[in-house]
Amino acid sequence: MRTLIPLTALVCLASPAMAKPAENPFFTEWKTPFGVPPFAEIKAEHFLPAFEEGMKGQKAEIEAIVTNPAKPTFKNTVAALDDSGEALAKVERVFLLLTSAETNEQLQALEEKIQPLMTAHRDDLNLNEALFQRVKAVYEHRGHEKLGTQEATLLEKTYRRFLRGGADLAPAQKERFRAINADLAALQVKFASNLLKDTNAYRLVIDKEADLAGLPADQIAAAAAVAKKAGLEGKWVFTLAYPSIWPFMTYAENRELRRQIFTAYTTRCEKGETENRTVFAKIAALRAEKAQLLGFKTWAAFTLDDTMAKTPAKAYELMEKLWKPSVALAKHEAADLQAMIDQEKGGFKLEPWDWWFYADKVKKAKFALDEEAMKPYFPLDQVRHGAFALAGKLYGITFTERKDLPVYHREVKAFEVKEKDGRHLAVLYMDFHPRPGKTVGAWCDTLRDSWTKNGKFISPVVYNVCNFARPSGDAPALLSADEAETLFHEFGHAVHNLLVHTRFRSAGVNGVAIDFVELPSQIMENWVFEPEM
């Protein structure tokens, strides 16, 4: 799962203090069903003013907290802080979705401006001495208030967030901390932008039908469709998108072409204007310095301190237990693959670009397992329906497609989620196919978290994003067994977001222990191959 953790969660309504000209949809109440974003009305030029106004609004809310003459309490400090920044979150969540799933040059240029602004804003909050002292006072006297589990958890997490955000550093250290965060924000945007650009820049163009030998018909048809869209009708184009490169690596008999596309994939961002090695080295160095400022020996020690592992030593201990048997198994598998090459009188030593191709041959020979033959049993719509049916059986919720809900791309489908008794529970967006503006991989996040505002339940708006092959011609989109498992995995994250119901935004899905986040998704995977499913 690609994890995105904004500062605050989204709610439907902008703060009254945010009233602005109606032409910017972020400054008005959204009249869409369930208050989902009116994507067609949102333009790139709306984001920067909305971010600036949102930051301004939250700073005013923070100022009201720190100037409150009353003694710091959970309600007037910690809860008030959690409730702040609604308008900022409104624009931030939409921006995060679009820059990861439907970006373009205009949005990428905006990201380079907005990320440093948001980083500075977060530092302004975390390094606000008066605010930290109020939070610290509540934390140190927490036994004086009768806090429930949610309140106690939020207080603990808020206090730790301030410590990990540099609040307890000396003045000179805080200034360096700010500078490091600013540099990291810029470098991380550059790294992601370079990777997307290099991934999109490559294409393997095939003009001889003989070079398609071994490839399944659906992959050939998909490559022909990509070529036609690129103005290369009559040819076939393969890209570094997951549904294109990995089937090619598995089935294409032309070893040289497998080498070419694999090499392109593994050498992305190695040189030229998209070179990322230097960027990565700078990120690593800055992370190490940041960790040391906070009293940790390494970035790993800082990162793991907030997890079950706690220390790098414990993490390495687990990795060592996995590493040795994994290497032994890999060597055994490599020997099987080399044996298959020799059996076919290939006359070469196994290379990385041979692995998928010969692994498929070995599986067929040893286990009569043909993964391509399994795909007709996993049409995308049917797998999605199976995930919905499972959630209905387990949790009593239903999913109804709503074509009246705004979407950010025509391929995206929107569903209303209801409780067993028919009450509205949430909205779920599902976005399954690769595009030039979409990051590779699969992930789940929210456009609005669920929480309770002034006694009223705010329903969540959740989205799943994947990169599965599109339908080809009249044939449905077909998934591999692994992709079916991925759909269930990401849907498990969605179910987590759909069913969480807390008073506080930070005590929701983003407030659980980080080690717990993957539990609901991995639980859902267990049902994919159950006979009943």
The C-alpha atoms of residue 493 and residue 331 are separated, in whole angstroms, by: 34
The C-alpha atoms of residue 298 and residue 290 are separated, in whole angstroms, by: 9
CA angle 250, 256, 259 (to 5 degrees): 60
DSSP symbols for 48-69: HHHHHHHHHHHHHHHHHHHT--
The C-alpha atoms of residue 157 and residue 497 are separated, in whole angstroms, by: 19
408-433: b (≥16 Cβ within 10 Å) or e: beeebbbbbbbeeeeeebbbbbbbbb
User: Of the candidates 128, 131, 57, which has an alpha carbon nearest to the alpha carbon of residue 92?
Assistant: 57
DSSP state letter for 71: P
Contacts of 212 (CB under 8 A, 6+ apart): 206, 220, 223, 236, 252
The C-alpha atoms of residue 469 and residue 483 are separated, in whole angstroms, by: 10
Structure token digits, residue 463: 């989205």
Burial class (CB in 10 A: 0-12, 13-18, 19+), 328: exposed
DSSP symbols for 135-204: HHHHHHTGGGS---HHHHHHHHHHHHHHHHTTTTS-HHHHHHHHHHHHHHHHHHHHHHHHHHHHHHH--E
Find tokens 């239903």 and name the residue.
398
Find tokens 């000396």 and name the residue.
170
Contacts of 514 (CB under 8 A, 6+ apart): 306, 307
The C-alpha atoms of residue 346 and residue 337 are separated, in whole angstroms, by: 11
Parallel, antiparallel or unpaired: strands 456-458 and 451-453: antiparallel
| Phi, psi at 462, each rounded to 5° | -120, 150
User: Of the candidates 194, 192, 273, 206, which has an alpha carbon nearest to the alpha carbon of residue 239?
Assistant: 206
Q: Which of 86, 151, 416, 490 is catalytic?
A: 490
490 a catalytic residue: yes
The C-alpha atoms of residue 478 and residue 275 are separated, in whole angstroms, by: 35
State whether residue 10 is helix, strand or coil.
Answer: coil
**Residues carrying an active site annotation:** 490
